[in-house]
Chain A
Amino acid sequence: MGKWTRRAVLSAGVVGGTGLVVGIAVRPGNPTETAGHLVAGEGENLLHLYVKIDANNRATAILPHAEMGQGALTALAQMLAEELDADWDLMGFEEAPAEAEYANYTFGRGYLFKGIDFPGAVVPTVDGLMLKLSESLGMQITGGSTSIRATGQYGVRVAGAAVREMLKRAAAKTWAVSVEEIRTAKSTLFHDGSGRSAPYAEFAAAAAKETPSSTPQLKKMSEYSVMGQSKPRHDIPAKVDGSALFAMDVKRPNMVYAAIKRTPVFGGTLKRVDERAARAMSGVIDVVQLPTLSAEGMIGAYSAGDSVAVVADSYWKAERALSALTIEWNTQGNESISSEAIFQQFERDISASTDRKNDVVIGDAATAFDKAETILSADYRVPYLAHTTMEPPNATAEVSADRAEIWVGCQNPLGFRQHIAAQLGLDFDKVTLHNHFLGGGFGRKSNADYALQAALIARAVGKPVQLVYSRAEDIRQDFYRPAVHSRFKAGLDAQGNLIAWHNTYVDKHEPIEAPLIPYAVAAQDIGHVASPTHVPFGAWRSVDHSQHGFFTESFIDEAAHAGARDPYEYRQTLLKDKPRMLAVLNRVAAEASWSVPMEAGRGRGISLQESFGSIVGQVVEVTVSGGKIWVDRVVAVIDAGYAVSPDGMKAQIESGIIYGLSAAMYGDITIEKGAVAQSSFANYDTIRMHDAPVIETHIINSGADIGGAGEPGTPGVAPALANAIFDATGKRIRTLPVMNADLRTDSESSPSVAALTR
C-alpha cells in the first residue's frame, strides 16, 4: 500500500432545515493554500474546492465526477451556477484531479453503502469530518447514480451558495456597506443604493481570503432559473467532430502497444507459454507475463487472473502476435463448470434454503398461505451479463523506478491512483493519473484491473505502453452482472387479492432494497441464500435492481392475471398508501393509452420500479408474429424529485431503457468449461437501430428528495417487455434473454405450419 503523504483537508458541516445533511468546505480558510496549486492556473482564483473564477469573470466548476456520457458535469455546473448566481454563458466545468481533496465519498456513502458500516478510521467531529489516511479516502466514484443527488445537492450547491456569500462579504468591505444590501445576478455584484456594480472577477481574490460557510442559504425550487433548464451539454460539440479525447487517443513519445490475454478459466494460473513464434514476428518488442492482481476494491474486492501480454510497435501487430503464443493454463479445478451446472447449484441451494437470510419479514406468511384460495409459484432466472462498453478497456502508462503516470478513462480516478501506487510499491504522490472521457462505463470501469496491467507492462518494458483489450478479451474478462435464480410463491384470496408473498433468491449485492416490493401485501417473507460461483462479480448498470426488477414486476403481473385482474389496476389497489408511486403508475398508464385495446398479435406490458431514489414507470408495446418480436414503443415516466436538466434526464432514461432492453432481448453470457463462451458482438449482440423502439419519456417534478437518473431507467424495461409478450401471446417469459424463448403461437409451432415457415 502506498503511503499517503498529502494531508486531508475536507471538512463537512451540517445543514439543517432544508434537508441537506452534509455541506463541504475547505478548512481552514483559503482553499488556495491546499488545493489551489492543483486546479488553479495563471489569473485564476480558487474560491472553494469546486469553484474558480478567472480575470475574464469566467467561473469554472471543478467536479469530482467522470464524464461517461451521462451529462452529469453539465448538470452539476448548472447547480453551481444556480447557487452562485453565475451567468451561464460565463460558466465552464472541468473534471477534478485525482487528488484526495476531491474524494467524493462523503456524499455518496449514504447511498453506496446503505446498511454497511463505514471504516472506523473516519471520525466525524462537530466542526467537520477529519479524514484519516484510509482506504475510504480513495473514492472518487462515478456510480450509484449519485452525481446529482449526492455531490450536487450536498456539495456543489453548497459551494456555489458559499462562494456567492464570500463575494458579497468581500465587496461589502471594499464598498463599506452592509452585506445585506448587496445583491447578485449574472456573475455581477450590485449595490443598488449607491448604484455600484462589479463583476465577480473584481472581488475574486479578496473573496478567496474569506472562509466559506458550510451552511449557506440555498435557493428554493421556486427560485431556480438555471436548474430545471435543458442546457446543451458542454461535451457534445467535441463528440461530433472526432476531437473529443478518450484514453485510447493518448499518444506519448516512443509509445508502444500491448495486447493481452488473461486466463480464460476464472481463477486459473499460467502454466507455461511458448513465446518463440510470437517473438519472431514483425514489430514484436516483448512478451510479458503478469501475475494475478488482487485489489481491495471500493465496491467489493476483486482479482484479475494471470495474464500474458505481447508488446509491439503497433496494436495490430501486438494482437496478431498474441494469437501466435501457445499458452497452457492451470485451471484449478474450474475447467468443468458450465452455466447449466451453476443453475443446478442455484436450484439446489434455494430448495435447501440452508442459512436463508431475510431481507424482510412482514406479518405471518405461513398462516397467510394456509388461508389462501390460490397459490401461485414460479421460478425466474437471469444469465450473466457483460458490460461491453463501446471503448474497450484500455490504459496508457509510463513507469520509471520512482514515478508512474497513467492515462485512463475510469469511474474512480482516486481509487485507481491508489491501486496503481500500491501495485507498483510507490508513494501515492509519485503516481499521476489523467482521467479522460469514458467511452462508456456502466460499472465496468470502476475496477482498476486494466490500468494495473498497463502499469506493470510499462514497467517491464521501460517504455510508455498503451494496453488495449480486444473485444473478445473485454467480453471474456469482465466483472459480470451475476446469473441469478429467484423462486416466488404468492397467495391470493377468493377475490384474487394478493395476501402473501414469498421469495428466495441467490446472491445478494447492492442496493440491499432491490428485491423488496412496494406493494401493500400483508404477509411477506423475502430472503436469500448464498450460492457462490467462480465467476467474477461486477456492478452492472442498476446492479441488483437489474435482476430483481425483472423478477418482482413480472411476478406481480402473474398474480394479477391469476386473479383475473388488469395488471395496472391490480398495482393501483396495492399502492393506495404510496402517492408518489401511484402518481407515476397512473401517469404512465395514461400516456400509453393503457385502456385502449390493441389488435391481435400486439401486446402491452407495464412495470413500476423505484431505484436510486427515483421512481420509474414503463409501458412497453410489442408485436409478435411468426415467433418474431418487435418492440415498437416504450413510454416511461420518471419522478426523480426534480429534474435539474430535463433533457439530460430524458436522455438517461432512453439510454437506461436501451441498455436494459439489449440485455433482456439478447444478453446471455454463458459459462462453458469454466470460461465465458461469448467473444464478440456476433454472439453477444445488442439492440441496434433497426430494433430500437421509440421511447417517450415524461418527467414528474414532485419536489421529493432528488434521485438518480443514470440507472433507474434500466430495471423496469425487462419486466414490462415480458408482461407485454404475455399480453400478446399468453406466453410467460421467466428466463432471459427473450431471444432464447419460443414465441410462436400453438398453431405456428405445429409441425405442419413450422415446416411451411422454416
Chain B
Amino acid sequence: MTTFTLNGEVRSVDTDPETPALWVIREQLDLTGTKFGCGMAQCGACTIHVDGRAQRSCTTPIASLEGAIVTTIEGLKSADGSLHALQQAWIDQQAPQCGYCQSGQLMSAAALLAVNPNPTDADIDSAMRGNICRCGMYGRIRSAIKQVAGASFYDAMEGSQNG
C-alpha cells in the first residue's frame, strides 16, 4: 500500500511497488492527462510534480511516492478552477498542436517558474530540454513561458518582438 497526496487529495493504492507512477495514475486513478511517450524518461510527456519538483512518472516507482505531494496536469489549475498563468499563456500563444506532449511541457515549465520566476533563455533550455514536442512548438512554448515571466519574446503570431 502506498499513500500520497494527489492534486490535494490523499490517495492510497495497493499495487506492485515497482509499478511506475504513470500507470497507476492513468489506469488506477483514472487521470489520463499525464501521457505515455517513451517509458524511459527520454521525452517528458509523463512529467508530474513530486513535492514541487518536475519528475518523469514513467520511471518513478509508485512506492517512492509514499507520503509525497504529487501534482498532475489536472491539478495545475487553482482551487477555484481558474487556469494557471502558464495554461492561459499556452492558449494566448496557441502553443499546442497535437497537444499530446503539452501536459508534460506545462508541468516542466510550472516547476521552473515556481523556483525561478525570471528565467533566462539558458534556464528555459535547461528546464525544458527533457520535453520533446514532435509538432515542434518550442518557439511558442518559450514565448508562453516568457509571457508569464514578463520578459520580452518573439511573437510568432505578430511576427515581432513583444514586451
A residues within 8 Å of B by Cβ?
68-71, 230, 232-233, 235-246, 248-249, 251, 257, 282, 314-317, 319, 388-392, 437-442, 468, 470-471, 647-648, 650-651, 654-659, 661-662, 680-682, 686-690, 692, 694-698
Shortest Cβ gap from A142 to chain B (Å): 12
Find residues 87-138 in chain B having any chain A CB closer than 8 Å to their own CB: 87, 90-91, 94-103, 106, 124-126, 128-138
Instruction: Contact check, A442 vs B97: say whether CB atoms are below 8 A apart.
Output: no
B10: CB under 8 A from chain A? no
- Among A239, A470, A654, the residue within 8 A (CB) of B136 is A654
Are A651 and B156 within 8 A (Cβ)?
Answer: yes
CA distance in complex: A391, B38 (Å): 9
Most buried by B among A236, A687, A698: A236
- Note all chain B residues with C-beta closer than 8 A to A441: 98
Closest CB in chain A relative to B121 CB, distance in Å: 9
- Contact call A241/B157, Cβ cutoff below 8 A: no
Taking a contact as CB atoms closer than 8 A, the residue among A70, A249, A654, A659 that contacts B134 in the complex is A659
**Considering only CB atoms, which chain A residue lies closest to B73 in the complex?**
A242
Partner of B27 from A314, A656, A682 at Cβ < 8 Å: A314
Q: Contact check, B91 vs A388: say whether CB atoms are below 8 A apart.
A: no
Q: Which residues of B contact A232 (CB under 8 A)?
A: 91, 94
Chain A residues contacting B126 (CB-CB under 8 Å) are 690
Q: Tell me which of B74, B91, B139 contacts A692 (CB under 8 A).
A: B139
Complex interface: chain A residues within 8 A of B76 (CB): 241
B113 to chain A, nearest CB (A): 15
Closest-CB distance, A274 to chain B (whole angstroms): 23
> Is B49 among interface residues, defined by CB-CB distance under 8 A?
no
CB distance from B107 to the nearest CB of A (A): 10
Q: List 14 A-B contacts (CB under 8 A).
A: A69-B135, A239-B96, A239-B99, A242-B74, A315-B23, A315-B27, A390-B37, A390-B133, A392-B36, A438-B98, A468-B36, A648-B94, A650-B159, A690-B126
Contact in complex: A471, B38 (CB < 8 Å): yes
Tell me the B123-163 residues at the A interface (CB within 8 Å).
124-126, 128-142, 154, 156-157, 159
> Are B96 and A236 in contact, with the CB atoms below 8 A?
yes
Q: Is B77 an interface residue (CB 8 A)?
A: yes
A251 to chain B, nearest CB (A): 7
Smallest CB gap from B20: residue in A: A316
CB distance from B153 to the nearest CB of A (A): 10
From the candidates A240, A282, A661, name the one contacting B87 in the complex (CB within 8 A). Answer: A240
* CB pair B139 A439 closer than 8 Å: no
Query: Does the CB pair A71–B97 fall under 8 Å?
Result: yes
The smallest C-beta distance from A285 to any residue of chain B, in angstroms, reads 14
Q: Which 9 A-B pairs have the closest CB atoms?
A: A242-B33, A658-B136, A439-B100, A69-B97, A239-B99, A69-B98, A692-B138, A242-B73, A690-B125
Would A233 and B141 count as touching, CB distance under 8 A? no
B43 at the interface (CB under 8 A from A): yes
Given A242-B73, A690-B125: A390 in contact with B136 (beta carbons within 8 A): no
Nearest B residue to A646, CB-CB: B157
B64 within 8 A of A: no
Establish whether residues A688 and B106, one from each chain, have CB atoms under 8 Å apart when the complex forms: no
Which of B90, B99, B138, B157 gathers the greatest number of chain A CB atoms within 10 Å? B99
Give every chain B residue within 8 A of A651 (Cβ-Cβ).
94, 97, 137, 140, 156
Number of residues of chain B lying within 8 A (CB) of chain A: 62
Residue of A nearest to B97 (CB): A69
Taking a contact as CB atoms under 8 Å apart, the answer to whether B96 and A240 are in contact is yes
Known: A439-B98, A697-B156. A242 touches B134 (CB 8 A): no
* Chain B stretch 12-41: residues in CB contact (< 8 A) with chain A: 15-16, 19-20, 23, 27, 30-40
Q: Using Cβ atoms and an 8 Å threshold, which residues of chain B touch A243?
A: 33, 74
Q: State A317–B132 Cα separation when bound (angstroms).
A: 26
Contacts of A657 in B (CB 8 A): 136
Shortest beta-carbon distance from B62 to chain A in Å:
10
Residues of B within 8 A of A317 (CB): 16
Q: A249-B32, A440-B135, A655-B136 are in contact. Are A240 and B129 (CB under 8 A)?
A: no
Given known contacts A316-B23, A654-B156, A655-B135, A390 and B72 CB-to-CB distance under 8 angstroms: no
| Contacting pair B37 A471 (CB below 8 A) | yes
Residues of A within 8 A of B30 (CB): 251
Whether the pair A681, B42 counts as a contact (CB closer than 8 A) is yes
Q: A388–B40 Cα gap in the complex (Å)?
A: 15
In the complex, A316→B83 CA distance in Å?
Answer: 32
**Given A388-B134, A682-B42, A695-B139, A240:B156 Cβ within 8 A:** no
Q: Are A692 and B136 in contact (CB under 8 A)?
A: yes
Q: Are B136 and A687 in contact (CB under 8 A)?
A: yes
From B91, B98, B133, B140, A237 is in contact (CB under 8 Å) with B91
B45 contacts the other chain (CB 8 A): yes
Asked if A314 contacts B19 (CB within 8 A), the reply is yes
Interface pair B100/A242, CB less than 8 Å apart: no
Contacts A314-B23, A682-B42: A235 and B99 contacting too (C-beta < 8 A)? yes
In the bound complex, how far is the Cα of B138 from the Cα of A344, in angstroms? 38
User: Given the complex, which residues of A lie within 8 Å of B141, measured CB to CB?
Assistant: 689
Who on chain B is nearest to A71 by CB? B97
Nearest chain B CB to A233 CB, angstrom units: 6
Measured between beta carbons, the chain A residues less than 8 angstroms from B19 are 314, 316
Query: Given A243-B33, A390-B101, A440-B98, are A689 and B83 also a contact pair (CB < 8 Å)?
Result: no
